[in-house]
Amino acid sequence: MPSITTVVAQALHTAATVLRRDALQDGMVFGELWERVLARNPKLRDDWAQAVRDSPPVADARFKNYVNRNASSLVRAGWLYRAQRRWQLTGIGADALDRFPDPVDFSLEAGRRYRKWERQQREVSSAVTALEQLPDSGSWVALEEVAAEFGIDPDVLGMVLRGTRPPGWYLVLGENGQAGTGLPLLPHECDQWLSLLHEEGILDVGRSSVDVVRALPDRRKPVQEALLAAKQPLGLEEMVAGEEAPRQLWIIRGVDALTGVPLIRGPWRDASMVTFHPGFPPPAAATHDLDSIRRAVETALPATATARREAVARELDAFLNRMRKGDIVLSTDGFETYVGVVDGPAVHSAERLERPVDWRNLNKPLDFLKDLPSGLSSVVQDADSQVLEATEYAETVLALIGDMPRTAPLPMGPAVLPDATAELAEALHMPDTTWLQDCVELLRATPQLIFHGPPGTGKTYTALALARHLAGASSATNVRLVQFHPAYSYEDFFEGIRPRLGAGQDGDTGGGLAYDLVRGPLRKLADEAERRPAEVFVLVVDEINRGHLAKIFGELYFLLEYRNEHVHLLYGSDDGRGFRLPPNLYILGTMNTVDRSVAYMDAAMRRRFSFMELHPDTPPVAGLLDSWLRRRAEERGEDAASYDDSHARLLDEINRLLADGSPGDRSFRVGPSYFMQDLAHTGDGALERLWKTQIIPLLTEHHWGDGTDVEFTYGLDKLREQLGILPPSGETSGSEDA
């Protein structure tokens, strides 16, 4: 029969192998990783069940939690970086897989390194705290000096920094300023280090390459000068000095009496604390025994039932006396779960008691249904008590967020939209920032804006470029694109019930259908924007007029105009508190004016959006193709004064013919984007291919049913002849037989 240690070792080795094979650069969410581990090594589940002698459902849950918890040894060895629920193999970990192909050897080596860290964890914690002061200092320090200053084995410090990545980890370098301090680096790790040192302004460009990253030698500072003395924080995996008792886990709940909003969303997170409201002026904090607290409660609540008085007394005793500095606290806001560490004794404030708390995951809350074991999540949902002890789950919570760095206070906003820049205008081939700045001003007044115009005018391209500019450095996570179509619904866009295959008794998918409330792109972005009010979030909705807007937006229709109001959601996921569209969430839409397959927006929806036109006849689109062709010629080293302007002339001729055919209708023209793609400029017959595959089909659809001979009117050969443009030598038009 396999031992627990052997099965866990095989699971961790398999997880590292899957990460290297399938998610080396971006890592993988633990839930998905766990499924792949079991699929790659299906024998693991049976071996574990035999080792622990539990029924399959119980064994499966314990197995997953046990492996998650034991992965801490890989983190401290620097082999694994674990942020929230995503696991990512490091270069050190990839090297370890090669050096220790046997799972047991792999696990034993990780355990040996973990124990080295464990013997020096207090010194490591002090060093990590001091390193938090390095970012934005414009300097770096040598690993050997930091290790010597705090009495740490340099190998241990280097591995811990790579595995946990606390603030300032990337500014601890080798003696010559080299990233990695001699430990193996993967290519994407080099890229990340290069980017971080560049942001700090200390990257040595002359001595850095794709596989070697170095900092400027003159930015190195002696460790005594660079690192000021700092108070050592209490880490989630440290015991309080002089205490032998295990750390306790407390579930604390509190709701604002006026608004019904959980306090973790307001004063608790803002002031780094938890509070307890017994319903009467609480007894003195010096009341150290339960009997005296019972007498105080009986005096304050004489008409209350005995059982209820006893419950209040026990909660007061827990908050005043049993809770200790260093204990773990857990609180929720809906499904979002926040974890912190008690940082001091209870104190009186008006009608309540307070305790300072160092919240650890304000930026990335856990989901108590998905992340916590079922037993703990059921305790969390017990609404009868303000203070509950759940110490039996303390190790599980430590495993979930034990290696998280301290959470820096979130900037509280409000978010500020940046002005348009010359760099943005140049990237969009616009002559200046005037048009773009008008867009920014409109968004500042009304946070919804639509770009409308004929096809090929760059509406989507411009919307995405502007969105990324507005979101700034966070654009990779704060900008999202969706595309509407006639079948798109509220459930697709915001949230809706989705079926999934339920798990059977043996862990397979034979348990029938289960139903989950799944968040859509707008709900996900709105939730993130609510959590990070100082950042700009932008949702880009392509082809916005192709969807049934009233159906898609539902009750959110009202919120587009009244951003400070709350509405109750269709599926009740606001838990009765109401939902709002955060003021730092902006919506950019695109609308193709030639699309006659759907009706235009109704008046109510139009009132909720500002509109900016992109049309070939007016700036900034007018003349854009000519400017782009001229710049392209310059970049290719050609004479800009005599560049080939035939593409621009052909486009102007198409739009002239369209205008003559429909003098009162500006809704259809052809935009320059068709002539700005590689298809129009690459290889022999490039323009002919573009004409045959894109221009003629587009014009045929436009003239459908009106009797126009599209080939005769818009044929490439004919337009060239009318404009006196000769085809390139050896080429003939392909439009004749299109």
pLDDT digits (tens, 9 = 90+) for 333-373: 877 889 998 988 888 766 788 899 988 888 778 877 777 77
| CA dist 230 → 130, 223, 236 (Å) | 6, 13, 18
DSSP string, 371-386: TS-HHHHHHHT-TT-S
First to last CA, the chain: 73
Write phi, then psi, for 540 (nearest 5 degrees).
Answer: -100, 120
Report residue 572 as tokens: 């009740």
Q: Are 335 and 303 in contact (CB under 8 A)?
A: no
Residue 655: what pLDDT?
A: 85
Residue 43: what pLDDT?
A: 87
Q: At what angle do helices 56-70 and 43-52 cross, to 10 degrees?
A: 100
Burial grade of 109 (CB within 10 A; 0-12, 13-18, 19 or more)? middle
Average pLDDT over residues 250-270: 79
| Choice among 25-34, 513-522, 569-578 with the minimum mean pLDDT | 569-578
Q: Is the per-residue pLDDT at 716 higher than 60?
A: yes
The pairing of strands 387-389 and 448-453 is: unpaired
Report residue 703 as tokens: 């003239």
Q: Are 377 and 393 in contact (CB under 8 A)?
A: no
* CB contact set of 152 (below 8 Å; sequence gap of 6+): 120, 123, 124, 127, 146
Q: Is the per-residue pLDDT at 245 higher than 60?
A: no
Average pLDDT over residues 40-56: 74
Q: Is the per-residue pLDDT at 244 higher than 50?
A: no
Q: At what angle do helices 154-164 and 143-150 cross, to 10 degrees?
A: 110
Give dist(CA 643, CA 633) in Å, integer: 6
Q: What does the CA dihedral 4, 6, 12, 15 come to, rounded to 10 degrees?
A: -110
Residue 511: what pLDDT?
A: 56
Give dist(CA 442, CA 427) in Å, integer: 21
Write phi, then psi, for 590 (nearest 5 degrees).
Answer: -125, 145
Residue 406: what pLDDT?
A: 47
Give dist(CA 572, CA 568) in Å, integer: 7
Give dist(CA 655, CA 526) in Å, integer: 41
Residue 234: what pLDDT?
A: 38
Q: Is the per-residue pLDDT at 237 higher than 60?
A: no
Residue 164: what pLDDT?
A: 84
Give dist(CA 605, CA 626) in Å, integer: 36
Q: What is the pLDDT of residues 474-510, one digit of tens each?
A: 787 789 999 998 899 999 999 988 887 654 444 444 5
> What single DSSP character describes residue 679?
G
Band of residue 611 on the pLDDT scale cut at 50, 70, 90: very high
Residue 255: what pLDDT?
A: 80
Give dist(CA 470, CA 447) in Å, integer: 12
Average model confidence (pLDDT) across the chain: 81
What 3-state class would DSSP assign to 650? helix
| Choice among 50-59, 164-173, 463-472 with the minimum mean pLDDT | 50-59
Residue 493: what pLDDT?
A: 93
Q: What is the pLDDT of residues 386-405, one digit of tens each?
A: 888 887 777 778 777 664 44
**Residue 383 CB neighbours (<10 A):** 7
Q: What percent of the chain has pLDDT over 90?
A: 16
What 3-state class would DSSP assign to 356? strand
Residue given tokens 């509220």 in the structure block: 490
- Residue 121 CA to chain centroid, in angstroms? 31
Residue 641: what pLDDT?
A: 61
SS (H, E, C) 532-560: CCCCCEEEEEECHHHCCHHHHHCCHHHHH
What 3-state class would DSSP assign to 681? coil
Q: What is the pLDDT of residues 696-715, one digit of tens each?
A: 898 888 888 888 888 888 88
Q: Are 133 and 100 in contact (CB under 8 A)?
A: no
Average pLDDT over residues 53-79: 73
> What single DSSP character describes residue 481?
E
The pairing of strands 585-592 and 448-453 is: parallel
Q: At what angle do helices 91-99 and 4-22 cross, to 10 degrees?
A: 120
Residue given tokens 């999540």 in the structure block: 377
Residue 54: what pLDDT?
A: 53
DSSP string, 438-464: HHHHHHHHSSEEEEEESTTS-HHHHHH
Q: Are 314 and 346 in contact (CB under 8 A)?
A: no
Q: What is the pLDDT of residues 524-553, one digit of tens each?
A: 899 888 878 889 999 999 999 888 888 898
Report residue 26 as tokens: 């971006």
| Choice among 258-267, 280-289, 716-725 with the minimum mean pLDDT | 280-289
DSSP string, 181-221: TTS---HHHHHHHHHHHHHHT-B-GGG--SS--BB-GGGB-
Nearest by Cα to 128 from 164, 154, 153: 164
Residue 639: what pLDDT?
A: 67
Burial grade of 581 (CB within 10 A; 0-12, 13-18, 19 or more)? buried
**Residue 611 CB neighbours (<10 A):** 14
User: Is the pLDDT higher at 110 or at 5?
Assistant: 110
| CA dist 302 → 215, 298, 352, 385, 687 (Å) | 70, 5, 19, 20, 91
SS (H, E, C) 36-62: HHHHHCCHHHHHHHHHHCCCHHHHHHH
Computed over its alpha carbons, how large is the radius of gyration of the chain? Answer: 32
Q: Is the per-residue pLDDT at 729 higher than 80?
A: no
Residue 595: what pLDDT?
A: 65
Give dist(CA 369, CA 375) in Å, integer: 10
| Helix H or strand E segment including 367 | strand 366-367
Residue 439: what pLDDT?
A: 95
Residue 600: what pLDDT?
A: 55
Q: What is the pLDDT of residues 150-203, one digit of tens each?
A: 888 888 888 988 888 888 888 888 888 888 888 888 888 888 888 888 888 888
Q: Are 548 and 531 in contact (CB under 8 A)?
A: no
Task: Classify 120 in phi/psi space as left (phi over 0), alpha (psi -120 to 50) or beta.
Answer: alpha
> What single DSSP character describes residue 595?
-
Residue 501: what pLDDT?
A: 67
Give dist(CA 302, CA 297) in Å, integer: 8
Residue 150: what pLDDT?
A: 83
Residue given tokens 């946070």 in the structure block: 447
